[in-house]
Amino acid sequence: MSRISVRPEIQRLDAYAPGLSIAEIRRKYGLDQVIKMASNENPLGAPPLAQEVVRRYAAFAFRYPQGGNPRLVAALAALHSVEPARIVVGNGSDEIIDMLIRMLAEAGRHVIVCFEPCFSIYPIQGGIAGVQLRRCPLRKDFSFNFDALLNLVNADTRLVFVSTPDNPSGYCPPRAAVRDLARQLADHAPDCLLVIDEAYMDFADDENASSLLAAGDLPENTAFLRTFSKSYGLAGLRLGYGVLPPVLAKYYWRTRLPFSVNIPAEEAGLAALADTAFRQATLTTVHEGRALLRQKLTELGCTVWPSSANFLLFQLPEGTCSAQECFEALLKKGVIIRPLSSYGLQEHLRVSVGNPQENAAFLAALRDILASSAPDRDGKS
């Protein structure tokens, strides 16, 4: 009899719950057309220049990539005007999150501090690493209480994770507040790294006013994460990057599996950086779509939270259906959005900003659902 057994941390694990896929829903409900507004992907698809290079580099699928992805590193260093020694790249920023935890925190000894709710990869990878998690509730309006967060930090804390703009709310604190957090953390816990996850920062109205990285202010204890999965339209190729304190970047390259960023991903990343027309169109589409969805959802009686990202957090009007019922009714109409029970938010929904057709289809479907579930005001039914 086999005695194979997994570590207790793994037995206890709740796996990451991804947004549903189009193929799944098409099959399940027998639909021809399904719209996915669940995973904050780019509403315009993949950049044309990146598609072209992925085709061109298909023939290189047999090759190992060059170690250290030097061309991509150079391009990213230039983009952010930082030394190349600070740049790391990974198989999505998820890989960098995982690596930072494994590099800095010892199982059974060290602590990670983050908000509750927050992007679920931080607690999941922390759990896998066997590291204790201390979580600070968000305020009722989903804004950050950095004082309360700092109160959870002790001498064993090795990482503090903050996403700005935040997922799933879209909340974005002012740059000065983040700067102050970095400063206080440096005083309070000099062994602790502050990880600022800026996956959605380029969708903010004023990136400079919100991002220390964009402003060129890089505190010594702070790592910044960005991704090609959202505004650059390459979620499926898996490419993310970090701007780290140089000594940490050096250890990252030693620790990472050598080839986690493959040749098509690296080339597509370079092409996506060059495809400025696509990126500009993405930002315009998201800004316009976000404003439209916010306005129309509000007109439908929903509560919508302010968002600096490419998605909106909302609640349905009182006395209509539950968030879960609405999510399922939308699925039947071929629209996938994101229920947030895995974030502990039973009555909230998150919708990614789509292209104009997708936004209109989502709004029409939601209008129907709300109309048929609203209490009948005339008393007839």
Ligand X SMILES: *Cc1c(COP(=O)(O)O)cnc(C)c1O
Give the 3-state secondary structure of residue 311.
strand
Q: Which pair of structure tokens corresponds to residue 306?
A: 């302010």
Query: Is residue 94 a contact point for ligand X (CB under 6 A)?
Result: yes
- Using the rule CB under 6 A, give the single segment among 90-98, 147-155, 242-250, 338-346 that binds ligand X: 90-98
Query: Is residue 57 a contact point for ligand X (CB under 6 A)?
Result: no
Query: Is residue 199 a contact point for ligand X (CB under 6 A)?
Result: yes
- Are 44 and 310 a contacting pair, CB within 8 Å? no
Looking at residue 44, its amino acid is: L
Q: Binding residue for ligand X (CB under 6 A) from 42, 210, 222, 229?
A: 229
- The count of other CB atoms within 10 Å of the CB of residue 55 is 10
For residue 117, cis peptide bond before it (omega within 30 degrees of 0) = yes
Listed residue (269, 220, 350) closest to 73, CA to CA: 269
**Cα–Cα distance for residue pair 32/282, rounded to 1 Å:** 26
**Cα–Cα distance for residue pair 224/96, rounded to 1 Å:** 10
Query: Is residue 240 a contact point for ligand X (CB under 6 A)?
Result: yes
Q: Which residues 148-177 are close enough to bind ligand X by CB under 6 A?
A: 163, 167
Q: Which residues 24-53 are close enough to bind ligand X by CB under 6 A?
A: 40
The residue number with the shortest CB distance to ligand X is 92
**Cα–Cα distance for residue pair 185/357, rounded to 1 Å:** 45
Query: Is residue 210 a contact point for ligand X (CB under 6 A)?
Result: no
Query: Is residue 235 a contact point for ligand X (CB under 6 A)?
Result: yes
Query: Is residue 227 a contact point for ligand X (CB under 6 A)?
Result: yes
State the DSSP code for 375: P
Query: Is residue 185 a contact point for ligand X (CB under 6 A)?
Result: no
Q: Which is nearer to ligand X, 289 or 334 (CB)?
A: 289
- Are 89 and 308 a contacting pair, CB within 8 Å? no
- Are 95 and 227 a contacting pair, CB within 8 Å? no
**Cα–Cα distance for residue pair 177/323, rounded to 1 Å:** 33
Shortest distance in whole angstroms from residue 95 CB to ligand X: 7
Shortest distance in whole angstroms from residue 161 CB to ligand X: 9
Q: Which is nearer to ligand X, 197 or 275 (CB)?
A: 197
How many residues of this chain interact with ligand X, rule: CB under 6 A?
Answer: 13
**Cα–Cα distance for residue pair 307/116, rounded to 1 Å:** 18
Binding mask 313-352 for ligand X (x = CB under 6 A): ----------------------------------------
Shortest distance in whole angstroms from residue 234 CB to ligand X: 9
Query: Is residue 260 a contact point for ligand X (CB under 6 A)?
Result: no
> In angstroms, how far is CA 116 from the centroid of its own chain?
15
Shortest distance in whole angstroms from residue 179 CB to ligand X: 20
Q: Which residues 96-155 are close enough to bind ligand X by CB under 6 A?
A: 119
Query: Which position has the token pair 């694990």?
Result: 13
User: Interface residues with ligand X (CB under 6 A)?
Assistant: 40, 92-94, 119, 163, 167, 197, 199, 227, 229, 235, 240
